[in-house]
Every structure is written in structure tokens, then in C-alpha cells.
Structure 1
Amino acid sequence: MKATIWHNPKCGTSRKTLAILEETPGVEVEVVEYLKTPPGADRLAQLYRDAGLTPQQGLRLRGTDAEERGLPQADDAAVLAAMAEDPILIERPLVETEKGVRLCRPQEKVHEIL
């Protein structure tokens, strides 16, 4: 099974999720450091749809200016555009497998799609 993780190596939860993926037999892991290679708005929209989340639910508030920018109340298009432009606004880690997508907070949520 292939698993793609949108990863921030400075994030403990992201590192723990990556460790779970790497320790799971039969999982081929693709790591995307989303701060260096951010997904576009269309890709983010698809990931959130597949995860059953709204873009607002995937918005990182801690350590960002998202609230000051009014993003928690903004429409989906505005949130997705802001995330694509400034990927620090993307809550992490997002993991995608053939079984679906999860925002892995806490990291144990990754087991739902393995």
C-alpha cells in the first residue's frame, strides 16, 4: 500500500505519524514536505473532501495569523487560496492512502486508513 504524508519535520505529531507509517509492514511511504512543496488549492480541496473535512477544519490556527486574517469564518475558496499561498496555514499531517485521507491529529488516526 502506498501512503503519502504531507509532512513538517519540525512537528512532533507529524514525525510520530511518519514513524507509524514507516514501521507498518507493506506500506510504501511518500513524504511531501508541504512547506517546501505546497499542494495547490484544487489538491487541498480534494484532500479535505476525501477526509470528510471542510477547509476550515484543516486550517492551522496555532502559530499562524489565520484568526487575524478572518480565515476561520471565510468561505472555502478564500481558505484554500490562503493555504496554497501560505502553506504554514495547513494543519498537519495529512495522510492519503487508497483507503482515504486523514488529518492525523492525534497520530493514531492514521491507523484508520492503513
Structure 2
Amino acid sequence: MKATIWHNPKCGTSRNTLAILQEANGVEVEVIEYLKQPPSREKLAQLYRDAGMTPGEGLRMRGTDAAERGLPDSDDATVLDAMAAEPILIERPLVETDKGVRLCRPKEKVTEIL
């Protein structure tokens, strides 16, 4: 099975989720440091759709100016545009496998798609 993680190496939850993926049998892990290689707006929309969540639910509030910008009350298109322009607004880690997508907070959520 292939697993892609949109990862921030400075984030403990992201590092712990990556460790779970690396320790899982039969999982080939692709690591994308999303702050260096941000997903496209279209890819973000697909990830949230496949995770069964809205872009607003995937908005990183802590350590960002999302609240000051009114993003939590904005429509999906506005949130996606902001995330695509400033990937720091993307909550992490997002993991995609053939079984689905999860925002892995807490890290154990990744086991739902392994």
C-alpha cells in the first residue's frame, strides 16, 4: 500500500504519524513537506472531499492569522484560495492511502486508512 503524508517535520503530531506509517508493514511512504511543496488548490479540495470534511475543518488556527482574517467564517473557495497561497494555513498532517484520507489529529487516526 502507498501512503502519502503532507508533513511538517517541526510538528510532533506529524512526526509521530510519520513514525506510525514507517513502522506499518507493507506501507510505502511518500513524504511531502507541504510548506516546501504545497498541494495545489485542486489537490486540497480533493483531499478534504475524500476525508469527508470541509476546507474550514482543515484550517490551521494555531500559530496563524486565520481568525484575524475571518477565514473560519469564510466559504470553502476562500479558505482553499488562502491555503493554496499560504500553506501554513493547512492543518497537518494529512495522509492519503487507497482507503481514504485523514487529518491525523490525533495521530492514531491514521490507522483508519491503513
Fold conserved between structures, TM > 0.5: yes
One-letter amino acid matched to 2:38: P
Stretches (4+) displaced over 3 A: none
Inter-partner Cα distance in structure 1 for 2:18 and 2:48? 19
> Could you report, residue by residue, the CA deviation over 1:57-89 in whole angstroms, capped at 9, with x for unpaired residues?
000000000000000000100000000000000
Question: May I ask how many residue pairs the two structures share in their alignment?
Answer: 114
Inter-partner Cα distance in structure 2 for 1:73 and 1:83? 14
Inter-partner Cα distance in structure 1 for 2:40 and 2:68? 23
Q: In structure 1, what is the equivalent of residue 57 of structure 2?
A: 57
Inter-partner Cα distance in structure 1 for 2:35 and 2:47? 16
CA RMSD of aligned residues (A): 0.3
The Cα of 1:53 is off from its aligned counterpart by: 0.5
One-letter amino acid matched to 1:101: V
One-letter amino acid matched to 1:74: S
Inter-partner Cα distance in structure 1 for 2:18 and 2:40? 22
Q: In structure 2, what is the equivalent of residue 22 of structure 1?
A: 22
The Cα of 1:40 is off from its aligned counterpart by: 1.1
Percent of residue pairs identical: 79
Inter-partner Cα distance in structure 1 for 2:53 and 2:42? 14
Q: In structure 2, what is the equivalent of residue 41 of structure 1?
A: 41
Give unpaired runs (5+ residues) of structure 2. Answer: none
2:60 match: secondary structure: coil
Inter-partner Cα distance in structure 1 for 2:25 and 2:43? 28
Matches within 5 A, 1:1-114: 1-114=1-114
Calculate the TM-score normalised by the size of structure 2.
0.99
Give unpaired runs (5+ residues) of structure 1. Answer: none
